Chains A and B, each alone.
Chain A
Amino acid sequence: MFKFFLTRVSLVIPTFIGVTLLSFALIRLVPGDPIELLVGERGIDPARHAMLRADLGLDKPLLTQYGIYITNVLHGDLGRSIVTKEPVIKEFFTLFPATVELSLFAIFFAVLIGMPMGVLAAVKRGSIFDYSTMGISLAGYSMPIFWWALLLMLYFSVYLGWTPVSGRISVMFDVEPVTGFMLIDSLLSDDRGAFTSAVSHLILPALALGTIPLAVIARMTRSSMLEVLSEDYIRTARAKGLSPLRVIGLHGLRNALIPVVTVIGLQVGVLFAGAILTETIFAWPGVGKWLVESVRRRDYPVLQGGVLLIATVVMTINLLVDMLYGLINPRIRRK
């Protein structure tokens, strides 16, 4: 078991080095002089240009530059934003909880709806419910999420007026950021309506972001459940006279869950790609929106640092999922 963990972790290291190379190369691949990019349109006199160049280490050989970069990265220094002059890592960790909160609720919604849908579709295979579940799941899987978010907004916010259009909480409330998670912070604050406001702001973005994972989870649960239900031990359980609920819930679902859990773990990347679009549409102050804005403002240090941090997060989660999988399913470990 320990050996399995060790090999998995050691596999991550070259990938991490590759990602740092990518983010290191990013700012150097942009056409034009990085200094001029940094100072913007105003122009700069040659003396100061040379000074900045030396300051940023751009006059040193490429390998030395990379050495400096990686040392800085390992010390948690990812440079400063050109626009706000704040350290990139600080900005990231202020915004990251918002993205995590949104993604957690999206995946929660996806599991809550998708899994029962998949189980029911498998149990009632060939029924109208099965066909409609698969139809909905296919449509959800094919959904352009930015359009779906706009449609949800059009119907629930504009037409019905049930939920607010954008942001994390109504401007009426001034919630002190303690954890960075609006739901917790608003509960901690003394304002009575703050929590309701935070929840109503969260519903639509989470719904939009959760749609693709929901479709994937429903499909995966169905096929995994179908496979398990044809196993001998299910027939045995049935023959023993166990109630259908017990057979399906205890004997079936528990075994069907293993691949589903992996699939949920692998949705992290999908979820983040979706978060970029969802956050942009709902003006949700998270990491995705921050990155899109950094591209628009040509704030390359932010993009560079953000890419590295997000890749690290995705890699870590994938690693954890793999290990969890190894823990649940011993057959994987021996490979």
Chain B
Amino acid sequence: MTMPVSDLSLANQQQQQQPPHPLLVFWRSFASNRGALIGLVVIILLVAMAVLAGWISPHPPDEQYRDALLVPPSWADGGSTRFLLGTDDIGRDILARIMYGARLSLSVGFMVVIVALLSGIVLGLVAGFFRGISEIIIMRIMDIMLTLPSLLMAIVIVAILGPSLVNAAMAVVIVQLPHFVRLTRAQVINETTRDYVTAARVSGAGTLRLMFVTVLPNCMAPLIVQGTLGFSNAVLDLAALGFLGMGAQPPTPEWGTMLSNALQFIQRAWWVVTFPGLAILLVVLAFNLMGDGLRDALDPKLKL
């Protein structure tokens, strides 16, 4: 009876009032955005499709069925369940090519964003930390790169390097780089004025430690958001280059490349034109949806 009940409940209350884990807060905010959740689910499905393409694809992507040229999708007149989304002009299954194309687009897009993000972070950190001449040079070069419309810049780079998937990916990295550099620099300049950075500096942290351990983690939120949106741009640009014949070369099952000769079938085979583009739209839409959700959850300042 000596133990007062009120004390117990107070302790309980204190435990309950402990702030929830940051990750949980982030997830709640993210999950409250229905669009972002849909985007995430679509992305998971697409990644699963890409990873499992070798097992779930009904046909190999390059197998040419000479007896089945330009077969319409299964639900259309003359279609069969053998080719769910129909076949192209040399009898390849479109569904299989889209599945393998997902593998290509997602992995190359991911790589492009990672490379652009990492090099952008390094350049942005250098510009934001050391200021002075290094900043002027880096930022001027980025300005010049931003003067050209992104696709034109990519075309110029491919014209120099020659058309191939790797070169197209390189071109897209270069096109995306300025955005990451600018963002990192702006964040770094903003963060270095804060007290915690001064405190770390006073307690003897070296420049590299200040850059990567103290400041960088606090700059990550907008960079992650930009990375997600950059991913959708990368997929779009890669497909556009493929479409123009400057990216992946046939017979690679790349979505843009699949559309590059679709124009000649527009009169008689709508399915050749429709499905690869639908796949591109789906990926880009999903990543944009998720990017919007991430931005709202990670960076409330950027909320529209």
Contacts and interface: CB of A to CB of B under 8 A. Distances in A.
A292 interface: yes
A223 interface: yes
B193 interface: no
Contact of A15 (B35, B140, B284): B140
A311 interface: yes
A270 B149 contact: yes
* 8 shortest interchain CB distances as A-B pairs: A147-B277, A18-B144, A273-B151, A142-B284, A273-B149, A269-B149, A223-B304, A272-B149
Interface string A191-234: 00000000000000000000000000001000100000000000
Interface of B: 35, 140-141, 143-144, 147-152, 155-156, 158-160, 162, 232, 236, 239-240, 243-246, 256, 259, 262-263, 266-267, 270, 273-274, 276-278, 280-281, 284-285, 288-289, 292, 304
B281 A143 contact: yes
A18 B153 CA distance: 14
Given A139-B285, A144-B281, A277-B243, A26 B152 contact: no
Interface of A: 14-15, 18-19, 22, 26, 29-31, 138-139, 141-148, 150-151, 153-154, 158, 219, 223, 269-270, 272-273, 276-277, 280-281, 291-292, 295-296, 300, 303, 307, 310-311, 314-315
B232 A142 contact: yes
B155 A158 contact: no
Nearest to B140: A14
A272 B150 CA distance: 9
Majority SS of interface residues in chain A? Answer: helix
Q: Indicate the member of B140, B151, B263 with the most A CB atoms within 10 Å.
A: B151
Contact of A146 (B140, B144, B259): B259
Between B159, B244, B276, the greatest number of chain A beta carbons within 10 A of the residue's beta carbon is seen for: B159
Nearest to B154: A273
Given A26-B160, A154-B270, A141 B288 contact: yes
Contacts of A22: 144, 148, 156
Contacts of A146: 239-240, 243, 256, 259, 277
Contacts of A270: 149
Contacts of A277: 151, 240, 243-244
Contacts of B267: 158
Given A26-B156, A29-B160, A150 B262 contact: yes
Contacts of B292: 138
18 contacts: A14-B140, A18-B143, A26-B160, A141-B288, A144-B239, A144-B256, A144-B277, A146-B240, A147-B273, A150-B273, A151-B273, A269-B149, A273-B152, A276-B152, A276-B155, A277-B243, A295-B158, A314-B148
Contacts of A142: 232, 236, 281, 284-285, 288
B155 A295 contact: yes
Nearest to B278: A147
Given A147-B276, A154-B270, A295-B158, 14 more contacts: A15-B147, A19-B148, A22-B156, A26-B159, A144-B240, A146-B259, A147-B278, A150-B266, A151-B277, A273-B149, A276-B151, A291-B155, A295-B155, A307-B152
B244 A280 contact: yes
B263 A150 contact: yes
B281 A139 contact: yes
A150 B140 contact: no
B303 to A, nearest CB: 9
Contacts of A310: 148-149, 152
B266 A154 contact: yes
A142 B273 CA distance: 18
Nearest to A166: B263
A150 B277 contact: yes
A203 to B, nearest CB: 17
Contacts of A296: 245
A269 B143 CA distance: 13
Nearest to B274: A151
A29 B174 CA distance: 16
Nearest to A270: B149
Contacts of B246: 295
A292 B244 contact: yes
Contacts of A272: 149, 152
B144 A19 contact: yes
Contacts of A311: 147-148
A138 B151 contact: no
